[in-house]
Amino acid sequence: MRSVQAIITDIVLSKGKGFDNSTDRDYEAERKKNARMTGFKLSKGMSLEEIDLNGQKAELIKKEGNDKGLIFYIHGGGFTTGSARERRIFTYPAVRKYGYDCMSINYRLAPENKWPAQIEDCLEAYENTLKIGYDPKDIILMGESAGGTLVLSLGLFLKDRGLPMPKVIVAFSPATDQYEDLPSHKANIKTDRMLRDGVAKGICDVLFDHKPSEAELKQYLLSPYYGDYEGLPPIHLSASDSEVLYDDARILYEKLKKEGHEVMYEEGYRVCHAYQIMTYMPESRKTLKNMFRYIEEIKGEDNGKIRKGSSFQETLQSKQKRAAVKK
């Protein structure tokens, strides 16, 4: 059963225009509008410091007494919008509640900056975070939507460069395959009030100044589904069963499980895209609770597990009950 907060969020999103990655969209105006909507305040004992990690200001958010490590957060927004400031909706509550500080980064946005500027900025920010003195073993790579794509890509990039790996990678509702037109990209258009048909239309026009080849679209930094994950840390994936990127998370989970990689997957029931960062929703808090518990229990075994009592397990049970009723 969905929470009241999830239902209200769906109603609000349904009144908007939905996601649009067209080249004639006024991205600058939208970014300014979104920045004005950010009114989150630091709680007692918390601090915010701006740090230049890659030519742009990152936000280092701390709380007195936090000692579990650092969340290295990469925001989403279709590679065209979003910022560390906007993601305070998630980073402030995460730092306040879960015992981790957070480095929330910015990166160059499309269409002004073409691919691979985005992943290059993420790599530079990560390297400079290590230079500041943070131990990679204490770092969680985390991001939502396009940011979820980028944390997976960054993990693969670090492997290529022979750089230190983080403790774990957490991808909320990532896009993992820019080449294949996955079933949920169209089947869930009517139930995904945020992205709608934006994924089905693709992002090529804003990321490239030419029509990309099959090889470019399957390049693992852009489409992390095609990457080789041997040597990468454990991965936590989650998505909503009603969002258009549902299959993106599912196919990567199935691949990693088959390959024996340590991975956990959690699925939200009829909640919006990137619900995980909307901590006013009970569904978000439940996924985050399970996710942080998983991170703290990582010991390198139980590959491909789905935690009992997770929202994914409950979704499976709900689907089975509905199927039985139909019969």
CATH number at residue 194: 3.40.50.1820
Q: What distance in Å separates the CA atoms of residue 240 and residue 222, rounded to the nearest whole number? A: 22
Cβ(148)–Cβ(174) below 8 Å: yes
Q: What distance in Å separates the CA atoms of residue 116 and residue 128, rounded to the nearest whole number? A: 19
Q: What is the greatest pairwise CA distance in the chain? A: 60
**Residue 222 contacts by C-beta under 8 Å, 6 or more apart in sequence?**
115, 116, 149, 153, 178, 207, 216
What's the domain count of the chain?
A: 1
Q: What distance in Å separates the CA atoms of residue 22 and residue 310, rounded to the nearest whole number? A: 37
pLDDT, residue 49, reads 98
Token pair 């990532």 is at which residue? 174
pLDDT, residue 203, reads 85
pLDDT, residue 200, reads 86
pLDDT, residue 39, reads 65
Cβ(215)–Cβ(34) below 8 Å: no
Neighbours of 160 (CB within 10 A): 12
Pairing of strands 235-240, 263-268: parallel
pLDDT, residue 81, reads 94
Q: Which residues of the chain have pLDDT under 50?
A: 300-303, 306-327
pLDDT, residue 276, reads 98
Q: Which structural domain range is residue 280 located in?
A: 4-326
pLDDT, residue 29, reads 86
Cβ(153)–Cβ(115) below 8 Å: no
Buried b (16+ CB within 10 A) or exposed e, 67-94: eebbbbbbbbbbbbbbbbbbbbbbbbbb
Name the burial class of residue 96, with classes exposed (0-12), middle (13-18) and buried (19+) by CB atoms within 10 angstroms of its CB.
Answer: middle
pLDDT, residue 165, reads 98
Name the burial class of residue 200, with classes exposed (0-12), middle (13-18) and buried (19+) by CB atoms within 10 angstroms of its CB.
Answer: middle
pLDDT, residue 307, reads 43
